[in-house]
Chains A and B, each alone.
Chain A
Amino acid sequence: NAGVTQTPKFQVLKTGQSMTLQCAQDMNHEYMSWYRQDPGMGLRLIHYSVGAGITDQGEVPNGYNVSRSTTEDFPLRLLSAAPSQTSVYFCASRVSGRARTDTQYFGPGTRLTVL
């Protein structure tokens, strides 16, 4: 299993540009999440999904959109990039609550710089 994969690893955008960060997992996990990590801070939840077709907002959702059309993929869209969105973005997945295990697996991250 590849686990949780993210592309790209690095990205530089200009203010106002849009882009999609890709996340995929091959572990058949129902739950997927997007976090951003800023220097000196923990991971803050942007959006999450408990299954295909179901998404919800986390702590810091403004400026980001998500969709979950398949179990495997959970892309994060930046609609109009702003310098405040410069951060490292992590995607994570875990099995559903029915499995009674909570281990969350993180992708390698995408380092985004907005100029």
Chain B
Amino acid sequence: GENVEQHPSTLSVQEGDSAVIKCTYSDSASNYFPWYKQELGKRPQLIIDIRSNVGEKKDQRIAVTLNKTAKHFSLHITETQPEDSAVYFCAASRSYNTNAGKSTFGDGTTLTVKP
């Protein structure tokens, strides 16, 4: 089955700095890679995702890059703000078939943005 490793487990940055979180996956058939943000006591919410036919995707201060050959993908947050403080999870899954119901998650990164 799929195995997703996420690093670092904790990350502390100053407000305004950039933050980068990295994930590696094992199943070369995985083709959908979402990132979720989870605030304390809340549900995970999708913040950005990328498919295997794309190398990079941006949405304002957030970007995700994918290296299919190396089987890793990264979340980049620029100009961090205190409200970016949360736990971030990456995930990997196969899309467009019956296995699409199965997502494998990384263990999460606790991001703290210090004012």
Q: Do A and B come from one complex?
A: yes
Assembly CA distance A88 to B49 (angstroms): 24
Q: Nearest Cβ in chain B — how far from A43, in angstroms?
A: 5
User: Taking A42-B89, A43-B89 as contacts, is the C-beta distance between A106 and B104 under 8 angstroms?
Assistant: no
**From A35, A102, A106, contact of B95 by CB (8 A):** A102
Q: Are A106 and B34 in contact (CB under 8 A)?
A: no
Once the chains are docked, how many angstroms separate the CA of A49 from the CA of B100?
10
Q: Are B34 and A50 in contact (CB under 8 A)?
A: no
What is the size category of the interface that chain A forms with chain B?
A: 20 to 34
- Asked if B93 and A102 make an inter-chain contact with CB atoms under 8 angstroms apart, the answer reads yes
Complex contact A50–B105 (CB within 8 A): no
Give the size range of B's interface with the partner.
20 to 34
> Once the chains bind, are A41 and B108 in contact (CB under 8 Å)?
yes
The answer, yes or no, to whether A107 is at the interface (CB within 8 Å) is yes
Bound-complex Cα distance A50 to B93 (A): 14
Contacts across chains A and B counted by CB atoms under 8 Å: 70
- Min CB–CB distance B1 → chain A (angstroms): 7
Task: Report whether B103 and A45 are in contact in the complex, using a CB–CB cutoff of 8 Å.
Answer: yes
The answer to whether B46 and A42 touch across the interface, beta carbons within 8 angstroms, is no
| Inter-subunit contact B1/A59 (CB<8 Å) | yes
CA distance A108 to B43 in the complex (A): 5
For B39, what are the chain A residues with a Cβ–Cβ distance below 8 Å?
Answer: none
- Mask: chain B, 8-33; 1 = CB below 8 Å from A; 0 = not: 01000000000000000000000010
Partner of A102, one of B32, B43, B45, B106: B32
0/1 interface trace, chain B 54-96, chain A, CB 8 Å (1 if under) = 0000000000000000000000000000000000010101011
What 10 A-B pairs are tightest by C-beta distance, nearest first?
A42-B105, A48-B101, A97-B96, A106-B43, A31-B101, A43-B105, A42-B107, A97-B100, A102-B32, A50-B101
Chain A residues packing against B (C-beta within 8 Å): 31-33, 35, 40-45, 48-50, 56, 58-59, 90, 94, 96-98, 100, 102-104, 106-109
